[in-house]
Amino acid sequence: MEAVGIEDAGRLARVVSGEVDPARVTLFSTMKNEMGFLPAWLDHHRAIGFEQFLIWDDASDDGSFDYLSGQPDVIVMQSDLSFGDLLRYRDPDGTEREERAGTYFKIALPHLFFVGAFVGYVDADEFLILPPGVGSIHAVVDRLEAAGAPSAVASVVEFFPASASGLAGALPQSFDALMAAYPFFQCEQLVDLREGAQPELMGKSKTARLFKRYAVAPQVVRQGWQRVWMSSKAKKAQQFQKSPRHKTPLVRRDAQSRLTGSHYGNLPPSSEVLLTVAHFVFTAQFAEKIDRATAWGAHANAAAKYRYYAQLLERMRGVEDGFLDENSVAYEGPEQLVRCGLMRW
């Protein structure tokens, strides 16, 4: 398999709608069939100051491609590759590794258009929350630039209803409505910023806590010739995939600074700025997303985590306040995230 670098992204993907303005503060995302979240996602991130959206669409067929193409501030890219297709990626330091096409495009596509600019990165079910008193992403960019910091890290905070019954109904169509429907989160620090170093991860994600509470345990299933021998890679594909506790949603794009995967930048981030990403996993789309991700199989290790999510959902049915524990609190505002150690400014 021939290795590809960042510089090859322009021949592997193409702009199919819109025109990039390199001067605009831009949010990048990879998406497939995310029509349920798109109106709220775009409206929220417009409201906090993003001026342009660069989306790599993985052959969506639920109407989201047409919706995105009709937005004047959205540029849509596509490729003959699908998210889960494997590539041999050669990073700018010369190190090679196997990478999924979707992750490669997340690393590489913004480099086609933005030189010396900060670019945002969040998924369709993720909503960036700014610190108290900060009204625009421009203020965050200005602070990072003034400090010479190449990126800002965020705590990834999962939001959820009190009980599995709260997953019924239609998916809310605004950020405020999502927060009202799924208001709870864990008031537990997930990230410790360290000067001159990558962040240290702490605690456990809400998903990990639920798996433990409801005794959802990974099982290795051997079929066919695997009854005789199974590779370590095949075994790993049936294990839990950790839910993210952090990501790097704002990265300066230049010859020295870049995203290296789904969660890290290559250089140590700011030790003074910690944002929050609200992650809406447990929503009215939860059961549908499990079915879709399992069938699609493009997520890490063939979407093993979603198979276990299906077990979790079944065990939680009918349990009153089944999502809640002693550290679950209802969201009131970003000041609360600061107090919980999930945000710093």
Give the chain's length: 345
For the stretch 74-87, pLDDT in tens is: 999 999 999 999 99
For the stretch 50-60, pLDDT in tens is: 999 999 999 99
Please provide the average confidence, as pLDDT, over all residues in the chain: 91
pLDDT of residue 303: 55
* Alpha-carbon distance values, 163 to 80, 117, 166, 271, 317 (Å): 41, 42, 6, 36, 8
pLDDT of residue 218: 72
123 pLDDT band (50/70/90 cuts)?
very high
Secondary structure percentages of the chain, helix, strand, coil, to 5: 30, 25, 45
User: Distance between CA atoms of 11 and 75, rounded to whole angstroms?
Assistant: 17
Q: Which of 113-122, 172-181, 308-317 has the lowest mean pLDDT?
A: 308-317
CA atoms within 13 A of residue 329's CA, in its CB half-sphere? 12
More confident residue, 243 or 267: 267
Domains annotated for the chain, with CATH where assigned, are 3-203+243-279+323-339 (3.90.550)
